A and B are shown apart, each in its own frame.
Chain A
Amino acid sequence: MIAHAENLLEMKGIKKSFHQNHVLKGIDLDVKAGEVHVLLGENGAGKSTLIKILTGAYQKDAGEIYWEGQLAQLHTPVDAIKLGIATIYQELNVIPHLKVYENIFLGRELKKKGKMSLLDRKAMLEEAKRCLQMLGQSPDLADQKLGDLGIGQQQLVEIAKALALEAKLIIMDEPTSSLSAKEVEQLYNCVEQLKAKGIAIVFISHRLEEIKRLGDRITILRDGFKIETLPVKTTDPDYWIELMVGRTLDEKFPKQTFPLGKEGFRVENIEVAGAPGPVSFSVRYGEIVGIAGLVGAGRTELARAIFGADPSRNGKIFIDGKEVKIKSPRDAIDAGIAFITEDRKGEGLLLDQKLDFNIVMANMKKFKKKSRLIDLKGIREEAQRFIKELKVRPDNIDLNARNLSGGNQQKVVIAKWLCTHAKVFIFDEPTRGIDVGAKVEVYRLMNQLVVNGAIVIMISSELPEILGMCDRVLVMSEGKITADLPIQEATQERIMKAATGV
């Protein structure tokens, strides 16, 4: 096999299995300098696995990797860094209590010449400033504590780190999924600049609009195989989806309208962390209420206040007109409220426990037998049911949550809350990181919940899904609800206006 010299990177016939699970069955990928190469595939298709092989985090079972035409051996992450491959993982790899420039030079600090091993702080600062400026950031950032920055800026610091390493290829695994609209914009600009410098980028994303905007070529994976590599600009996203799921997807938003019932859930003057004043709203049966706003608008804080996740706050909550007292998450669950948290690793999952335990964790009571022992068989059956219903892959409840792909982990978190059989469901960014097909499943599930007489509230930063699935939209800005729009009146402009407070 001969590598083509014009390719910066060529992966050939890459295979990888985890025990009986054959994830990659012979993948080819080539990347040219200065291009943005997108990887698209369903949750669990093996995108992250392929990337981890490239960064030396996993070892391939078979296949070859050529770098600038030469056969490359990638055994450890250091090998990859030496070649000039840098990675921005979805979970940031930064140290919050160190300064930005210290993070940029972590592990390869510059030393003063001749003075034994004293650190050359000034040189590092200068270099860090230069890299930050290249990304259109203020050079003053370099001397700030990293933990004081927002997630988006932290991510840009990671990119600056890649620049400081003089990386020729930067891999970004779902980089925009936790950024605010403004930060996303910054990231896009930054990607354009990297491209102009001739740096290649491998970009993983489930967001079709951003793929269309940034991508040059797209490689589609399915069932462990590479299906096609296509130019982005001249092909249709619907065609990509067809290749990715193996069938046509009839509708992106399976919206159903139900007759509006009486008020089922009301929040009165609840105090929200960081908000200027108390917040009130109500939801009726038969409607899905969306809470839109920019990242940082206080939507998650509102949900946490309702759920009793933060130390007790003032305010009243009514379900079916009856007040419920909520001082802790336990009280909220007992009152019939479920809160599907946005941060699945930090707040949702037990990574080293099996799926069945993860799924029943919030409702173990239900499986307590008269003898006070828990009904293991019952738990397995219930978990199996949800895994089937939500199409979690692989559908093996004995796997630890850690070993699922990001999107499938998200489904497990959703399953956990469905399992509580709550009356009120608050979804916080429920479709973050899940593929287009699975999104439709989640939307269907929301419909189903409404049919079954539940109250459904969806916090989302994705305007299309708010507009596509909700019957009413609340918009939050700086801790206040600034608009309450029936869906007929909710346009993108009106929502953005209320969200930015202009």
Chain B
Amino acid sequence: MSQVVIQTENEVTKKNRPLKKLLSKFGPLIGLVLLSSVLTLLSDKFLTVNNIMNIARQSTINALLAIGMLLPILTAGIDLSVGSVLAISVMFMGIVSVNLGMSPIVGILVCLLMGAGFGWLNGILLTKLRLPHPFISTLGTMNIARGIALIVTAAAPIAGFPYMIQFLGREFVGPIPVSFLLVIVVYVIFHIFLTRTQTGRYIYAIGGNPEAARLSGINVDRVLIIVYTISGLMAGLAGLVMVGRVNSAFPLAGLSYELDAIAAVIIGGASFLGGVGTVWGTLIGALIIAVLRNGLNLLNVSADFQMTVIGAVIIAAVYVDVLRQRKSKKS
């Protein structure tokens, strides 16, 4: 009676397994390729060296914000303040290096430190004041930073930055924008940080199960402070690139950029529940958004429509991910 094997007709075919695996690993990349193929068909201007470099350049600011945003999201948090922190960072850089005429190096340092400082503040608010969720602390600092950015120059923009400050956002190496090379370098560093360092691995641990992390001897507060500080630092760096691109700092810079950054991270396959997400996915996510905006521009789609389309893409991308996970759970 034992060990009878009964064959029935609805035996599943297992041939498509590797394909499925590939799909789940490279889902966002496949999305990017499909999107690019469609755009190539729709517009002959899309697949040109010029345009590709254009996309690369346009993606950089969001790519830098997004990679910073990945960290809080990995810990099941969020950083709503990055757009405003970008603004306050560039305003202070303007004050220091244009209005006060100090060395551009000081300006750059002020810009980066301002970003990191606000990020650190977010971390402190979260871990020391024990505000219940970073949504709240960063919503607060988002308004504070934007407010200060408006106050310090009475809402006036600052222009005429020295070349050194503009270098990152403005220069090219051959056809390749320096800012995109910067993105590549930053992403490689983040990849190593997240996969090969203790703190990086702890970030995943905290997102996956904070209590297990704590009982494993991980100093959760310290890691969270690092996470938000880095996110702020990346906002400062994105600001530096932006100033190079437009040669001016204005207090409404980066308005609602946090949303594109969050979108890139989520499209790239990270989970809002924490613990899941990769640098590689985030890069693809940022590129998808850039390609989408560029393509819609080439097709002369108005800005209002672009917003609608990008909203739909976010929902579609996450839904595909949900389906994928449901499948892999059931399979």
A residues in contact (CB < 8 Å) with B? 12-13, 15, 17-19, 25-26, 28, 58-59, 61-64, 225-228, 307, 309, 328-330, 332-334, 339, 341, 346-353, 357, 361-362, 364-365, 368, 372-374, 376, 416
Contact = CB atoms under 8 A, between A and B. Distances in A.
A338 to B, nearest CB: 10
A64 B196 CA distance: 48
Interface in B254-289: 275-276
A396 to B, nearest CB: 14
B300 interface: no
B201 interface: yes
Nearest to A14: B6
Nearest to A307: B215
A350 B208 contact: yes
B181 interface: no
Taking residues whose C-beta sits less than 8 angstroms from the other chain, chain B's interface range is 35 or more
Nearest to A304: B215
Interface stretch (B8-16, B156-164, B166-174, B308-316): B8-16
B19 interface: no
A58 B330 contact: yes
A62 B208 contact: no
A225 B2 contact: yes
B205 A361 contact: yes
B228 interface: no
B275 A226 contact: no
B217 A330 contact: yes
Contact of A13 (B5, B196, B202, B214): B5
State the main secondary structure of chain B at its contact with A: loop
Nearest to A365: B198
B209 A12 contact: no
Interface in B120-161: none
Contacts of A416: 216
B201 A364 contact: yes
B3 interface: yes
B197 to A, nearest CB: 6
Given A225-B2, A330-B219, A350-B275, 11 more contacts: A13-B4, A19-B17, A341-B215, A347-B211, A348-B215, A350-B204, A351-B208, A353-B208, A361-B216, A364-B201, A372-B197
Contacts of A227: 2-3
Contacts of A329: 214-217
Contact of A352 (B3, B192, B198, B208): B208
6 contacts: A19-B17, A333-B217, A361-B218, A362-B217, A374-B197, A376-B195
B229 to A, nearest CB: 18
A63 B7 CA distance: 8
Contacts of A25: 5
A374 B193 CA distance: 10
A367 to B, nearest CB: 8
Contacts of A348: 212, 215
A26 B7 CA distance: 8
